[in-house]
C-alpha cells in the first residue's frame, strides 16, 4: 500500500546520522499513516519505504547494527497487509516517538 506524501519529497537517507537528523520528519510521516505504529513494528523497512523514506543499503546496515530488533526484515507480509487495510480503531495504539531507543542519563 502506498501512502500519499505529495506534500513531502522523498527522503533519501545515506547514513545513520542522516536518519537521526531527519528522525522528526520520519516520525511525522509514520504518525500520518493509519496504524503507522503497528505497521512499523511489523515491517519497519516496508513502512519507511511506503512513507517515502529511501534508506541506502550501507545506512540500513548501520541502522540494523544500532537497533537490530527494529530494522530487521520480519517476513510478516500477511499481517502487515491485514493491518494496513484495517481501520485505525484498535484497542491498542502504538505512538511512535522516535526510531531508536534512547539511553536514559
What is the grid cell recorded at 76? 510478516
pLDDT in tens, 15-51: 989 988 999 999 999 999 988 888 888 888 899 999 9
Residue 81 placed within a domain: yes
pLDDT in tens, 55-100: 999 998 888 888 887 777 667 788 888 888 887 666 666 677 777 6
* 20, 103 contact by CB (below 8 A): no
What is the grid cell recorded at 96? 511512535
pTM equals: 0.75
Strand 53-55 relative to strand 11-13, pairing: parallel
Q: Cα–Cα distance between 82 and 39 in angstroms, integer?
A: 10
Neighbours of 84 (CB within 10 A): 20
What is the grid cell recorded at 25? 520528519
Structural domains in the chain (count): 1
Domain that holds residue 18: 11-85
Residue 23 placed within a domain: yes
Residue 99 placed within a domain: no
Residue 104 placed within a domain: no
Residue 21 placed within a domain: yes
Amino acid at each position: 500500500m502506498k501512502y500519499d506524501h505529495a506534500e513531502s519529497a522523498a527522503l533519501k537517507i545515506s547514513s545513520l546520522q542522516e536518519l537521526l537528523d531527519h528522525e522528526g520528519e520520519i516520525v511525522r510521516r509514520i504518525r500520518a499513516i493509519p496504524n503507522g505504529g503497528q505497521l512499523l513494528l511489523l515491517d519497519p523497512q516496508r513502512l519507511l519505504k511506503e512513507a517515502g523514506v529511501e534508506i541506502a543499503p550501507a545506512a540500513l546496515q548501520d541502522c540494523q547494527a544500532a537497533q537490530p530488533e527494529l530494522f530487521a526484515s520480519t517476513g510478516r507480509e500477511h499481517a502487515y497487509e491485514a493491518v494496513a487495510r484495517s481501520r485505525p480503531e484498535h484497542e491498542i495504539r502504538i505512538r511512535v516517538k522516535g526510531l531508536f531507543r534512547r539511553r536514559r542519563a
